[in-house]
Amino acid sequence: MKGARERYGASPLHLLAVLCSFALALYAGLRLLKGDPVAVAVWFVAAALVHDLVLLPLYTVTDRALQRLLPGRHGGPGSRAGSGSVNYVRVPGLVSLLLLIVWYPLVLRRVPGFGPTTGLAAGTFLGHWLLITAVLFAASALCLLVSTVRAGLQQRRQPRRQRPRQSRRQRRPRARKG
């Protein structure tokens, strides 16, 4: 058992979970291909091309712009990518876009006659998605505020000699008497 764990790199329970997920994916794939396999293959290829050629460059440029606008916690262009306040925009943006991608036919009113099935009017889905998006960004802003306040309190509690020293360029010039 120990030799198998060393070769695989994780516990046998992890291996079982991975094998079960592969079995589930195979079952779903076989069920999906029963209908129209050519249309499914075209859909997968088109989705991969749209993602790689349109969406990936779009959200990469957007993320780079966010990194420049919201520098990392330690500030400046040399800070680690993905650190600091950028994540407080990334996470709700990702969840909101994921919800839009999954539910876009209802949000954009592309499905006629879906009201009787859901019991909701067709115009409510856009409002619900916008409300969820607003709540996600508000919760993220609240988390950023709490994180900023906690960081400020921790910095105040730190003894003066343990604080990182500022270089001469970072210090503010003192007013000279003259």
Q: Would you give the DSSP letter of residue 175?
A: P
The answer on pLDDT for 94 being more than 80 is: yes
Q: Is 28 helix (H, G, I), strand (E, B) or coil?
A: helix
88 class by beta-carbon count within 10 Å (0-12 exposed, 13-18 middle, 19+ buried): buried
pLDDT of 108 reads 86
Confidence of residue 75 (pLDDT cuts 50, 70, 90): very low
Confidence of residue 130 (pLDDT cuts 50, 70, 90): very high
Confidence of residue 161 (pLDDT cuts 50, 70, 90): low
Contact by Cβ (8 Å): 60, 49: no
Contact by Cβ (8 Å): 89, 140: yes
Q: Which two tokens stand for residue 70?
A: 């919201």
pLDDT of 129 reads 94
CA distance 32 to 36: 8
Report the predicted TM-score, pTM, of the whole model to 2 decimal places: 0.59
Q: What would the DSSP string read from start to end of 91-103?
A: HHHHHHHHHHHHH
The answer on pLDDT for 80 being more than 80 is: no
Contact by Cβ (8 Å): 136, 92: yes
The answer on pLDDT for 168 being more than 80 is: no
Q: Would you give the DSSP letter of residue 159?
A: -
Average pLDDT, stretch 118-137? Answer: 89
